[in-house]
Amino acid sequence: MKKYAYYELSVIQYILLIHGTQVGIGVLTIPRELAEQAGTDGWISLFIGWAAAVLVSLVTTNMMKRYPDKTIIDIFHLLLGKYLGKVATILMAMYFAIASIVFIANTTAIINVWILSQTPAYIIVALFAIPAYMVVQGGMRVIGRYSELVFYLTLWMPLVLATALKDAHWLHLLPLIKEGWMPILTASQTTILSFLGFEMAYFVYPFLQKKQYASIGIVVANTLTLLVYLYITIICFAFFCPDEIVEYVWPTLNLWKVIEYRFLERIDIIFLAFYLFILSTTALPYLYFTVFSTSQLFNSRDHRKHLWVLLTLITVMAWVYTPSFIDLKKMTQTWSYAGLIFAYLLPLLAWGPIWLSKRAGGKEA
Amino acid sequence: MAMRGWLRRKKTSVKDRLSHSGEPVRVREISDQLSENIAELNAIFTLTPDLVIRTFDSRHAGGKVTLVYLTGLVDKNSINNNVLRPLLSHREGESSSIFDLLSVGKVTVVYDFQTVENDILKGSSVLFIEGRKEALVVETNGWPQRALEDPQLEASLKGAHQGFVETDSQNIALIRRYIPNRELKIKEIWVGERGDTKLSIMFLADVVNPEVLQELEDRLGRIKVDSILNTGELEEYIEDNPYSPFPQFITTERPDTTASHLLQGKIAVVVDRSPSVMIAPVSFASFFQNVDDYSIRWPVASFIRLLRYLAFIVATFLPAIYIALISFNYEVIPLDLILSIGESREKVPFPPLLEALLMELTLEMLRESGIRLPAPIGQTVGIVGGIVIGQAVVQAGIVSNIMVIVVAFTAIASFIIPNYDMSSAVRLIRFVMMVLAAMFGIVGIVVGLMALIGHLISLQSLGVPYGSPLAPVRFSDWKDLFVRLPLWKMLERPTGARTVQEKRQGDNQPEGDAK
Amino acid sequence: MKRFTQIILSFVLIVMLTGCTDRLNLEDATLSLMVGIDLNEKNELLFYMTSPVFSREAKEKTEEYGVRASSTRESRMGFDEIVTALTVSGKIQLIVLGKRLLQHPDWFRLLDVVFRDAKFTVNARMVMLDGSLNELFEYKPKDKPRLALHLTKLIDTANKRNLTVKTRAQEFHRQMFEKGMTPHISELKKTKHAVRVMGTALLTKKGVYAGLIEPRDTVLLQMLLHGKQGEISITLPVKGPTDQNPIIKDRVSFFIKGVKKKVKTTYRDGTFHFDVQVSLRVSISERLFPFNMEKDYKKLEQMIAKQFHKDYAQLIKKCQEAKTDPFGFGLYARAYEYKEWKKVQDDWPAAFAKATVQIKPEVSIKGNGVVK
């Protein structure tokens, strides 16, 4: 039984969907997070994070390859039975729900600090619910197209950012590995988490048209993300002095603030407004897979009702409770731990049993 | 009314039609008595003074003959020369069959009054013959028509100067002139209970995607209405998303545009009595293309293309951006500019949103008033509008200079979009964006843009993605998207319409160094 | 129909939401273009502000006020009490600091709001005024545009000719936080008829005023900091072959066409050594003494190089004595001698004062103008 029309994503959409999910708020904060732990050597840790992410993504795709037509939820049901499968699905839905809520809360907080400082948070959330509904109601196909289009639409950003390079001080990056490898390894904890998003492969894999490119695609997606992070981190390190960068919560935005043209000033406002596009490519897949999981749970074909309910819930939540910046930090931590479990640990643990069960099944047949 | 019971169904293609009365339909056969037939006709066509019933003796028929037609819908010359004259004048040695005497192309034999009635209403004349239980339907159609003219709405610089008219056979002929190929097939569908409009679906059988064609046929078949008066009406019944502000089909009055779309593997629907042809499936990008693009040099055409997309952005967002910048994010404007904006606004008593709405609405009114006025009065509107907008409003201190510039620029930009439906859609979206901008500044605009993109990429035209080739991205089609590359580079048909046959042309290498 | 209701509903929802709380129409805003901070005789903080007035009826197109307050944000309240509309800080072009304020360390904390409030611009130029801020803000020259615009332009153009530095707030923040250098900002002085660019004010690590670098020397500083930026024109005294003329002195002027800098950093004998190779490509623009260029251009190159060497040595000595390092040699120390740097990083200016800096200019004359 096919509940959803699979085989809808092209390889490029697959790559950019995963890449879009990975690149989000991390870009705004990662230079500071790395500098806090590893000084200006932090960019080296990105490679460690990348390697870990690529490794786990490959394991994930390998796992999904065993069941080319099934999402992780179907696999849960298959392996754990109906009852446990449902529990696993609920957990999955909760993970995605937490991810989307934390993400939206963070985004709203940034908007509240940088652009609309007087507007209440729930109004901003309600505002974003409209485009979110319009895109997510179309399902995987539209989300795939959206991620792809947004990627091309935001290609101007790195080019504009390069104008900040004229004030760069490359000496900041020297000497390499100044404090030894330990801080770099510590910082890689952060970087591992900033690659979160490849767990989309659990769901996206069955939608992919050409499965033979799944592994290559996910490596490309991770590498693209690495390049984005590397670019932004190195520019920030070269621009801000190492003692100063840790002062900024969102150093990337401070970087944009400096850029000025004859016809346009304060590019950070425009950048941040347009950055909402990039943020949306993270939020929308998470939202979609939340309602995808719940609608599978209730065996309903139409995810739109669930989406409607979820978005209303999030808006109401934002109305009832606006998290402070400390709460946000804690929430983000929770998400990170959940991500560590769901994205990194789960495939590593599940791969063995799945591999074995498939082999056993193969022998019986 | 008695007539009602006689409204009935000939075409089998439209199955369950609306029944205007609950009575079972009687099928009246044609009688062999002329008088009975005439009585029957008079019963059908009550209060129809334009019905002509002429009874005369014809030796060929060996008795009395009755000719019936609606005057005005027939070609009088044809009736006189090809029907009446051969029947009235008799010469020795001629064939005595009445069928052979009629010097008209299409003559059919019918047996019941349903058909007779329909054919009379459509401009044929019917010949009843004494003693025969049949009638001859002679094609003498000749209703009032206008001559071929330059297309009004889609003027072209270098393209052809023939536009469609209100007769579908003429329109089909115009299209066939461009594609004299046996693969150009036509399927006819009748739609409408009372109006009974003939739709001719034209397509290239070896290029078009059969699924898309089937989808279109199904949708047309499902329409149950009184009458389709216009192509625009037809569109509304078969659109994928009726709530969208965007046109999901192209209507054109240009045969060459139609032919070009047909060659791209799209389907054209010629609606009888309507001077525009509907084309489906279409994508967002095709509203920015124009026949002239292909007849001027490609670098110029590319430049104009880019200009159109820029115009689209300007026409949609410029007033919104102005509002956002003036009431939220003035940090973004360079100092010198903001000082001059501030100075120009120092007399203006309204907030920016009101100022912008005022001007935009004035402009829309001017535009609407100009359309339907006769040309001499239309000019007056232009002058009055120009003076009102340009000078008086600013001098009176109601709006600022900068606002006038913004509005004028927006108006010009919206005129550049070559498709009227698309530029109307833009007008509507502009207001939504302005309200969003007035409430949330630049964030509002971005959210609006996001929603716009979300809408455009989930929209479909006949099940084919509307955003193609932008979303889903099909790079091979980008040769004819933002720029127009030389024609000899476009070897394949665009994938937008999901054509079966991909190859469009052979390897046409240009002469000379360009190899 | 359901779809339709949904669309209507969501639209009504947006319109109903009073999202306008952030809106501040341009006419309701007082754009402060220049702010000033100073101390009065009683060591109370004074804040000044000037902003354009958009009104048909106002005769004067700017307004300027000074208030007493304890912090920058608090001063906004004071301004809002007086000025036409609501003060906004997104377009500040200049932050002017009084000399009295700069006598006190840690005044930098007053600028916290500039970096904390996202609406604040960080592109304001940092300026020190030698004199009373009151006098400057009251100054309304008839032949100049609005004072803030005039001063902005003054600093920007002076910086183009390298007569002063252009330190924007963001850059100043960096200079304050960067352990390997000390901050430097533009210095202005209000004279009787005009505002004059005095050169570059040297500040210590704590922000205390430590001395002035004159425009002549600022050029040298700028060349070390940024290489060739803008137009660099230098006039040097050179000992010509002829006898000294009491009025027409032996001077040579030239444009710098290109600067290449190479810094060699070493640490030995307990001090840092910086060997700076500066190769300059110059084009003569003025020469006040007869000289056979075709034959002796090498000689002239050496003479110029020698003069440069002398000037640089003087400049560096001055900075070292003032316990400042506007050149950012600390960056080189950190990049190439990290171990030693770590020991002194918290008091780099002191370490720099002990360091040896050798500037070795190499001049090559590329052009000689249109006469021989």
Place of tokens 């002398």: C310
For residues B448 and B246, give the distance between their C-alpha atoms in angstroms, rounded to a whole number.
15
pLDDT per residue as tens digits for the range B469-480: 887 878 888 888
Nearest by Cα to C257 from C224, C276, C297, C230: C230
Identify which of C10, C90, C338 has the shortest CB distance to residue A175. C338
The number of folded domains in chain C is: 2
What are the b/e assignments for B82-112, b being 16+ CB within 10 Å? bbbebbeeeeeeeeeebeebbebeebeebeb
Residue A1 has pLDDT above 60, yes or no: no
Q: Using CB atoms, which chains have 3+ pairs under 8 A with B?
A: A, C
What does the pLDDT read at residue A363?
41
For residues A3 and B161, give the distance between their C-alpha atoms in angstroms, rounded to a whole number.
53
Residue C23 to residue B327, Cβ atoms within 8 A = yes
What does the pLDDT read at residue C12?
66
Residue A119 to residue C22, Cβ atoms within 8 A = yes
Q: Which two tokens stand for residue B216?
A: 């279109």
Q: Using CB atoms, which chains have 3+ pairs under 8 A with A?
A: B, C
Q: Which two tokens stand for residue C343?
A: 């020991």
> Of C184, C213, C242, which residue is a domain's last?
C213
Determine what percent of chain B is predicted with pLDDT higher than 70: 90
pLDDT per residue as tens digits for the range C306-318: 888 988 999 999 9
> Within this chain, do residues C148 and C45 fall inside the same structural domain, yes or no?
yes
Chain A residues at the C interface, defined by Cβ less than 8 Å, are 113-120, 123, 126-127, 130, 167, 169, 171-172, 174-175, 178, 240-241, 243-244, 247, 253-254, 257-258, 260, 265-266, 268
Dihedral angle, C-alpha C332, C334, C337, C341, nearest 10 °: 130
Residue A131 to residue B450, Cβ atoms within 8 A = yes
CA C71, distance to chain mean position in Å, is 24
The DSSP letter of residue B62 is T
> Within this chain, do residues C264 and C165 fall inside the same structural domain, yes or no?
no
Contacts of B515 (CB under 8 A, 6+ apart): B509
**What Cα–Cα distance (Å) separates residue A229 from each residue in A50, A100, A201, A232, B155?**
10, 21, 21, 5, 51
Contacts of C342 (CB under 8 A, 6+ apart): none
Assign B322 a pLDDT band (cuts: 50, 70, 90).
very high
| DSSP string for B272-340 | TT-S-EEEES--GGGGG--THHHHS-HHHHHHHHHHHHHHHHHHHHHHHHHHHHHHT-GGGS-HHHHHH
Assign B93 a pLDDT band (cuts: 50, 70, 90).
low
Residue A145 to residue B471, Cβ atoms within 8 A = yes
What does the pLDDT read at residue B369?
83
Nearest by Cα to C118 from A2, A271, B193: A271
Residue B14 has pLDDT above 60, yes or no: no
Query: Who wins on pLDDT, C194 or B471?
Result: C194
What does the pLDDT read at residue B95?
58
Identify which of B332, B450, B451 has the shortest CB distance to residue A270. B332
B295-304, long-range: CB within 8 Å, 24+ apart, which pairs? Answer: B295/B157, B295/B158, B295/B159, B296/B157, B296/B158, B298/B483, B298/B484, B298/B485, B298/B486, B298/B487, B301/B484, B302/B482, B302/B483, B302/B484, B302/B485
Q: Is the peptide bond prior to B376 cis by the omega test (within 30 degrees of 0)?
A: no
Q: Is the peptide bond prior to B472 cis by the omega test (within 30 degrees of 0)?
A: yes
> Which whole number is the average pLDDT over C267-272?
86
pLDDT per residue as tens digits for the range B187-220: 999 888 877 888 999 999 988 989 899 999 999 9
B181-186, long-range: CB within 8 Å, 24+ apart, which pairs? Answer: B183/B207, B184/B262
Chain A interface test: which of C88, C119, C168, C226 (most A C-beta within 10 Å): C119
Minimum mean pLDDT among A12-16, A68-72, A265-269, B265-269: which range?
A68-72
Residue B12 has pLDDT above 50, yes or no: no
Identify which of A13, A128, A263 has the shortest CB distance to residue B447. A128
Q: Please check whether residue C12 lies inside any domain of the structure.
A: no
Which chain C residues touch B243 with a CB distance below 8 Å? 3-4, 7
Q: Please check whether residue C11 lies inside any domain of the structure.
A: no
Closest B-chain CA to A13 = B472
∠ CA B363-B369-B374, nearest 5°, is: 140
Phi, psi of C211 (to 5 degrees): 150, 170
For residues A260 and A254, give the distance between their C-alpha atoms in angstroms, rounded to a whole number.
12
Q: Please check whether residue C354 lies inside any domain of the structure.
A: yes
The percent helix, strand, coil of chain C (3-state, each to 5) is 40, 30, 30
pLDDT per residue as tens digits for the range A102-147: 999 999 999 888 888 888 888 889 888 989 998 998 888 889 999 9
In a 10 Å sphere around its CB, with 0-12 CB exposed, 13-18 middle and 19+ buried, how is residue B46 labelled? exposed
What does the pLDDT read at residue A9?
83
Give the minimum alpha-carbon distance from C72 to chain A in angstroms, rounded to a whole number: 19
Residue A149 to residue B471, Cβ atoms within 8 A = yes
Closest A-chain CA to B452 = A131
> Which whole number is the average pLDDT over A310-334?
87
Closest C-chain CA to A312 = C10
Q: Which two tokens stand for residue B486?
A: 């030389």
> Within this chain, do residues C209 and C299 fall inside the same structural domain, yes or no?
no
Give the minimum alpha-carbon distance from A215 to chain C in angstroms, rounded to a whole number: 40
**What pTM was estimated for this model as a whole?**
0.87
∠ CA C85-C87-C89, nearest 5°, is: 150
B432 interface with A at CB cutoff 8 Å: no
Closest B-chain CA to A144 = B472
* Residues facing residue B199 across a β-bridge: B189, B271
pLDDT per residue as tens digits for the range B29-80: 888 888 888 888 888 888 888 888 888 887 776 778 888 998 888 888 888 8
Identify which of B336, B345, B436 has the shortest CB distance to residue C27. B345
> Which whole number is the average pLDDT over B270-279?
91
> Which whole number is the average pLDDT over A261-290?
89
> Within this chain, do residues C197 and C254 fall inside the same structural domain, yes or no?
no
Give kind and range of the element (H or E) at residue C23: none
Which chain B residues touch C15 with a CB distance below 8 Å? 435
Phi, psi of B184 (to 5 degrees): -75, 100
What does the pLDDT read at residue A360?
55
∠ CA B192-B194-B197, nearest 5°, is: 45
Residue C144 has pLDDT above 70, yes or no: yes
Query: Who wins on pLDDT, C16 or A14?
Result: A14
> Within this chain, do residues C203 and C289 fall inside the same structural domain, yes or no?
no
Which chain B residues touch A10 with a CB distance below 8 Å? 472
Which chain B residues touch A144 with a CB distance below 8 Å? 472
- The residue extents of the domains of chain B are 2-138, 168-282, 297-465
Check: CB of residue B70 under 8 Å from CB of residue B104: no
Q: Beta C34-39 vs B184-191: how paired, if at all?
A: unpaired
> Which whole number is the average pLDDT over A82-102?
89
> Taking CB atoms and an 8 Å cut-off, how many pairs form between chains A and B?
97
Closest B-chain CA to A126 = B447
What does the pLDDT read at residue B13?
35
Give the minimum alpha-carbon distance from B231 to chain C in angstroms, rounded to a whole number: 24
Q: In what order do the strands lie in the sheet containing C251-268?
A: C233-237, C251-268, C271-287, C356-367
Assign A183 a pLDDT band (cuts: 50, 70, 90).
confident
Check: CB of residue A145 under 8 Å from CB of residue B467: yes
Chain B interface test: which of C54, C120, C121, C146 (most B C-beta within 10 Å): C54
Residue C171 to residue A247, Cβ atoms within 8 A = no
What does the pLDDT read at residue C25?
81
> Within this chain, do residues C173 and C226 fall inside the same structural domain, yes or no?
no
Chain C interface test: which of A241, A258, A261, A262 (most C C-beta within 10 Å): A241
Minimum mean pLDDT among B166-175, C224-233, C314-323: which range?
C224-233
Nearest by Cα to B52 from B36, B72, B68, B74: B68
What does the pLDDT read at residue B9?
39
Residue B332 to residue A265, Cβ atoms within 8 A = yes
> Which whole number is the average pLDDT over C267-282?
88
Residue B18 has pLDDT above 50, yes or no: no
Determine what percent of chain A is predicted with pLDDT higher than 90: 21
Residue ranges of alpha helices (H) inside A201-303 are 201-204, 214-239, 242-245, 251-258, 267-297
pLDDT per residue as tens digits for the range A14-31: 999 999 999 988 889 999
B334 interface with A at CB cutoff 8 Å: yes
What does the pLDDT read at residue A2?
46
Residue C119 to residue A117, Cβ atoms within 8 A = yes
Residue A362 has pLDDT above 60, yes or no: no
> Within this chain, do residues C241 and C338 fall inside the same structural domain, yes or no?
yes
pLDDT per residue as tens digits for the range C208-235: 998 898 888 888 888 888 888 888 888 8
Residue B386 has pLDDT above 80, yes or no: no
The DSSP letter of residue B25 is P
Check: CB of residue C60 under 8 Å from CB of residue B351: no
> Within this chain, do residues C206 and C223 fall inside the same structural domain, yes or no?
no
- List domains and CATH numbers for chain A: 11-332 (1.20.1740.10)
> Within this chain, do residues C362 and C238 fall inside the same structural domain, yes or no?
yes
> Which whole number is the average pLDDT over A163-181?
84
Phi, psi of C261 (to 5 degrees): -120, 135
> Which whole number is the average pLDDT over B113-133?
86
The count of other CB atoms within 10 Å of the CB of residue A170 is 12
> Within this chain, do residues C297 and C186 fall inside the same structural domain, yes or no?
no
CATH, residue C363:
3.30.300.210
What does the pLDDT read at residue C255?
87
> Of C169, C194, C213, which residue is a domain's last?
C213
Which chain B residues touch A131 with a CB distance below 8 Å? 447, 450-451, 453-454
Residue B311 has pLDDT above 90, yes or no: yes
Q: Please check whether residue C10 lies inside any domain of the structure.
A: no
For residues B262 and B185, give the distance between their C-alpha atoms in angstroms, rounded to a whole number.
11
Q: Which two tokens stand for residue B243?
A: 């709530």
The DSSP letter of residue B30 is P
Domain, as residue range, for C145 = 26-213
The full length of chain C comes to: 372
Assign C63 a pLDDT band (cuts: 50, 70, 90).
confident
Chain A residues at the B interface, defined by Cβ less than 8 Å, are 10, 12-13, 111, 115-116, 119, 124, 127-128, 130-131, 134-135, 137-138, 142, 144-146, 148-150, 152, 261-267, 269-270, 273-274, 276-277, 280
Residue B328 has pLDDT above 80, yes or no: yes
* Residues facing residue C221 across a β-bridge: none
Question: DSSP E strands: which ranges in B80-167?
Answer: 107-110, 125-129, 135-138
Q: Using CB atoms, which chains have 3+ pairs under 8 A with C?
A: A, B
> Within this chain, do residues C86 and C167 fall inside the same structural domain, yes or no?
yes
What does the pLDDT read at residue A4?
53
Check: CB of residue C160 under 8 Å from CB of residue C197: no
Q: Beta B250-252 vs C356-367: how paired, if at all?
A: unpaired
> Within this chain, do residues C223 and C275 fall inside the same structural domain, yes or no?
yes
The count of other CB atoms within 10 Å of the CB of residue A296 is 23
Closest C-chain CA to A244 = C177
* Residues facing residue B54 across a β-bridge: B67
Phi, psi of B464 (to 5 degrees): -100, 135
Residue C244 has pLDDT above 70, yes or no: no
Minimum mean pLDDT among A55-69, A284-298, C310-324: which range?
A55-69
Which chain B residues touch A115 with a CB distance below 8 Å? 328-329, 441-443
Which chain C residues touch B346 with a CB distance below 8 Å? 27, 54-56
Indicate if the alpha-carbon torsion angle A218, A221, A227, A233 is positive or negative. negative
Identify which of B333, B451, B467 has the shortest CB distance to residue A134. B451
Give kind and range of the element (H or E) at residue C253: strand C251-268
Q: Please check whether residue C6 lies inside any domain of the structure.
A: no
Phi, psi of C141 (to 5 degrees): -65, 140
Assign C354 a pLDDT band (cuts: 50, 70, 90).
confident
Q: Which two tokens stand for residue A356?
A: 């074995």
Identify which of C22, C54, C119 has the shortest CB distance to residue B346. C54
Residue B235 has pLDDT above 60, yes or no: yes
